[in-house]
Chains A and B, each alone.
Chain A
Amino acid sequence: MTELISLFQAGIVFGTVILYGATGEILTEKSGNLNLGVPGIMYLGGIMGLMGVFFYEMNNPDPSPILCVLIAMSCAFLASMLGGLIYSLLTITLRANQNVTGLTLTIFAGGFANFFGGSLMKLAGGVGQINVATTSAAFRATLPFVPNLPALPRMLLGFGFMAYLAVVVAFVVSWVINRTSVGLNLRAVGENPATADAAGINVTKYKYLATCLGAGISGLGGLYYVMDYTKGTWDSAGGIESLGWLAVALVIFSTWRPKRGIWGAYLFGLLSWLYFYIPGLTRRSMELFKMLPYLVTVIVLVAASLRRRREDQPPAALGLPYFREER
């Protein structure tokens, strides 16, 4: 039972990271931009959030938890948006290939984050020594009565606020896309930019905004990973990157629906940890079990291509550049 609980908890933590990444990417892809820079953007969010509070905590003997959280989140969000802006500038204005640009962004931001992450570690005195205790504690704080609750509600309420925020963000994004005029325009841009353009929608503006905001949301996943999973330290083993690719996979899994992404994310999270809780596995067979989320994604991918429902298809103009006077 306790094992099951800890599997569940580990799954939710990873699921939350993936969910931020995927929700942001869904918003981006709804505008027709396929951004393979998601892992890089999550790196940016993680490292800049960490650096922001690191310097704040270093210079303040008595840091305020609320300020810590605000600094970390705004640094992460802005830095990620900046990543989205680079991607947008290259693909929308300069019409570079989306896939190549996204991959370059991942290479660049991975290097950037691990470079500064490593430097930060050195500055702080070695591996695991980055001291943003106040911030990390604030990110992981639960409501005061939670530890006294029985097992099941404790399990459900025992996460830091960002785990719940991720669900809220997914619902909000879903609502914006499906219920507001802005969302309607955005869907049109991703489906058929020429039509959206003819309808007086500023395609370039929508693409820029959706991509940058989407990047900002994705970046929060990186921040959550750093503040909650690695407890305010930097890990240069590439954990963020592999979760980032899972986020890209989840977008397909969820058929571009943020709400469907929620349970998909937790499923991916659980599958990522399942090997840890299956009894009798050797270290070798554990490695094989770690494939599960990727295998499942492959299966979903194949299944989606077999069953071609109109409503489950990607935005029709996904990956294609738009230039009004092209002919």
Chain B
Amino acid sequence: MRKTHKEPFIRISKRGEILPPWKAWGIRGIALVGSLVLCAIIIYSIVELNPLKVYGAMFNGAFGTNKRGWVTIRDTMMLLCIGIGLAPAFKMRFWNIGAEGQILMGGIASAACMVYLDSALPNLALLPLMFILSALAGGIWGFIPAWFKAKWNTNETLFTLMMNYIAIQVTSYFVALWENPPGSNSVGVINPQTKAGWFPEIFGEMYTLNVIIVLALAVAMFVYLNYSKQGYEIAVVGESENTARYAAMSVPKVIMRTMLVSGAVCGIAGFLAVSGASHTISISTAGGRGFTAIIVAWLAKFNPFVMILISALLVFLDRGAIEIASQYNLNDYVSSMLTGIILFFILGSEFFINYQVKFRSNKEVQA
């Protein structure tokens, strides 16, 4: 018994040509619109509000007042900062899932400076010190798994993941140590009177310094990745370790150095979170942004400037969803849910950029 088969209905093949950028971004745009429509449907089914009004309310939540606008900017800068930190690691194909831990360690270093030094140093000296120590703390936290990876090829995905939980416990320890008031199991706002270690207001805005620091980091990282010798080494190691060895690079050294940089920038994000935003530390200082930022860096193909757009979009959604949640008496988690949906769509859309789908009639379908 030998059967004959029909030609398959759908055929998938790799695109022969790289799509021009406008087409690729067009596909991503379609995915984004699709996901927004789905989100609108979900929100509608929960709160039964005209979807357009929903987005109006979300916009209001994100930019409705000057203060809200600045909070949105602050959060965008935070997410962007972590994304910038992760970019070199991921470009090297080093799965640094440990940004959460690196942020927390940076945050602890900052908080420790604020608690112990208080007004012993002028803010002008204290802030740079905190910056450096946070970077160092985050860098060390990133370096540890890198050392084992370089030495024994220990799986970094799981190592960095575990380092997050170790960092959370370290944070809990310090929260218990610095508890204020006693018994509250939280640190409370540090230095509320002296404001030592707080970012100063610049041009009358609290978060100007956050923007300056992160944008400077974005430019620096762009230059580092694209124009420095070390950035070139990162790219080669990420593509092929054999090629890197052939080109006389020391792969272990590149891995360790890059993770030091990656962890340090994430540590600086912790500094921003403590000094430039909450003025306290808790186990939710990182708040899952270390994971979200992976997706930011990945989708932006490690380009810091594209990351600005993606971070802004995600934070806009987050702030907007929180606004809707409070207006309609829902809880904040709705924003993670919506973020997830949008990311699913964008992730899926990459397929249509890299592959083409043909149906049986051989008509080409431009997805």
Residues on A lying within 8 angstroms of B by beta carbon are 34, 36, 86, 89-90, 93-97, 99-101, 103-115, 118-119, 122, 236, 242, 245, 248-249, 252, 282-285, 287-288, 290-291, 294-295, 297-298, 301-302, 305-306, 323, 325-326
Q: A104-B344, A104-B347, A326-B14 are in contact. Are A298 and B336 (CB under 8 A)?
A: no
In Å, the complex CA distance between A31 and B224 comes to 39
Q: A96-B350, A107-B288 are in contact. Are A242 and B165 (CB under 8 A)?
A: yes
- Does B176 contact A111, Cβ atoms closer than 8 Å? no
- Does B336 contact A90, Cβ atoms closer than 8 Å? no
- Does B351 contact A287, Cβ atoms closer than 8 Å? no
- Does B295 contact A104, Cβ atoms closer than 8 Å? yes
Residues on B lying within 8 angstroms of A by beta carbon are 12-14, 95, 97, 148, 152-155, 157-159, 161-166, 169-170, 172-173, 175-177, 288, 291-292, 294-295, 298, 329-331, 333-341, 343-344, 347-348, 350-351, 354-355
User: Which one of B170, B291, B335, B337 has the highest number of Cβ atoms from chain A below 10 Å of its Cβ?
Assistant: B337
Specify which chain B residues have a CB less than 8 angstroms from the CB of A36 in the assembled complex.
97, 157
Specify which chain A residues have a CB less than 8 angstroms from the CB of B177 in the assembled complex.
284
The listed residue (A115, A252, A287, A323) touching B155 by CB distance below 8 A is A252
Specify which chain B residues have a CB less than 8 angstroms from the CB of A283 in the assembled complex.
176
- Does B294 contact A107, Cβ atoms closer than 8 Å? no
Within the complex, the shortest CB–CB distance from B42 to chain A, in Å, comes to: 10
With A86-B344, A294-B166 known, 5 other A-B pairs at CB within 8 A are A100-B298, A245-B165, A284-B176, A297-B158, A301-B158
Q: Give how many A-B residue pairs fall within 8 Å (CB-CB).
A: 155
Within the complex, the shortest CB–CB distance from A297 to chain B, in Å, comes to: 5
Specify which chain B residues have a CB less than 8 angstroms from the CB of A287 in the assembled complex.
169-170, 172-173, 175-176
Specify which chain A residues have a CB less than 8 angstroms from the CB of B336 in the assembled complex.
107-108, 110-112, 114-115
Specify which chain A residues have a CB less than 8 angstroms from the CB of B166 in the assembled complex.
291, 294-295, 298
What are 26 A-B contacts defined by CB distance under 8 Å? A96-B350, A97-B347, A99-B157, A103-B291, A106-B291, A110-B336, A111-B335, A111-B336, A111-B338, A112-B336, A112-B337, A115-B333, A115-B336, A115-B337, A119-B330, A284-B173, A284-B176, A285-B173, A287-B172, A288-B173, A290-B169, A291-B165, A294-B162, A295-B162, A298-B163, A323-B12
The listed residue (A100, A242, A249) touching B295 by CB distance below 8 A is A100
Specify which chain B residues have a CB less than 8 angstroms from the CB of A249 in the assembled complex.
158, 161-162
In Å, the complex CA distance between A107 and B335 comes to 10
User: Which one of A99, A107, A288 has the highest number of Cβ atoms from chain B below 10 Å of its Cβ?
Assistant: A107
Q: A108-B344, A287-B169, A302-B152 are in contact. Are A103 and B331 (CB under 8 A)?
A: no
Question: What residue of chain A has the Cβ atom nearest to residue B343's Cβ?
Answer: A104
